[in-house]
């Protein structure tokens, strides 16, 4: 899936940049770093592990439950960045947002879908005008 020996850890002083992307929606979820050990754990467990400069080896979701299951891992052309396509069990960001870049482009559609389902499920009150969402 990913050849660790093909990665260039030297430019990042032992780390590569990791971009986590939602495999279902295409949303970019977060950008973090990993060393060889974090990637070995990722390959062994099928769940994303990172290396935080402050927290050390970090199994994403170990405490929050918001794990990221690996769908695909791919290195970039010069081997210093890994693109991880993942299925996330919950919000990717510690802020509670679905991604660290705020709402994803599909979140708006999901919210609209929920609104439509809610409107469809309940009858209008006698004095209520229909809405247009």
Q: Which residues bind a second copy (CB under 8 A)?
A: 17, 19, 21, 25-28, 30-31, 74-78, 81, 83, 93-95, 97, 100-102, 105
Cβ nearer to a second copy, comparing 52 with 115: 52
Q: Are 51 and 73 in contact (CB under 8 A)?
A: no
Cβ nearer to a second copy, comparing 97 with 107: 97
Minimum Å distance from CB 101 to a second copy? 5
Cβ nearer to a second copy, comparing 78 with 118: 78
Minimum Å distance from CB 31 to a second copy? 5
Tokens of 114: 């929920």
Q: Radius of gyration of the chain from Cα atoms?
A: 19
Rounded Cα–Cα distance for residues 38 and 59 (Å):
8
Q: Residues 6 or more apart from 35 whose CB is under 8 A from it?
A: 9, 14, 15, 16, 51
Minimum Å distance from CB 71 to a second copy? 11
Q: Phi first, then psi: give them for residue 98, nearest 5 degrees.
A: -60, -35
Minimum Å distance from CB 2 to a second copy? 11
Strand partners, 30: 20
Cβ nearer to a second copy, comparing 47 with 76: 76
């Amino acid at each position: 899936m990913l050849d660790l020996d093909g990665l260039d850890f030297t430019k990042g002083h032992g780390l590569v940049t990791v971009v986590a992307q939602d495999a279902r929606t295409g949303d970019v979820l977060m950008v973090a770093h990993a060393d060889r050990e974090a990637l070995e754990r990722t390959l062994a467990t099928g769940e994303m592990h990172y290396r935080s400069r402050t927290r050390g080896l970090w199994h994403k979701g170990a405490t929050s439950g918001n794990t990221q299951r690996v769908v695909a891992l791919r290195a970039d052309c010069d081997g210093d960045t890994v693109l991880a396509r993942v299925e996330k069990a919950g919000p990717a960001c510690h802020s509670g947002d679905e991604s660290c870049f705020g709402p994803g482009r599909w979140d708006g559609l999901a919210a609209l879908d929920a609104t439509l389902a809610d409107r469809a499920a309940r009858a209008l009150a006698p004095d209520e005008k229909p809405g247009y969402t």
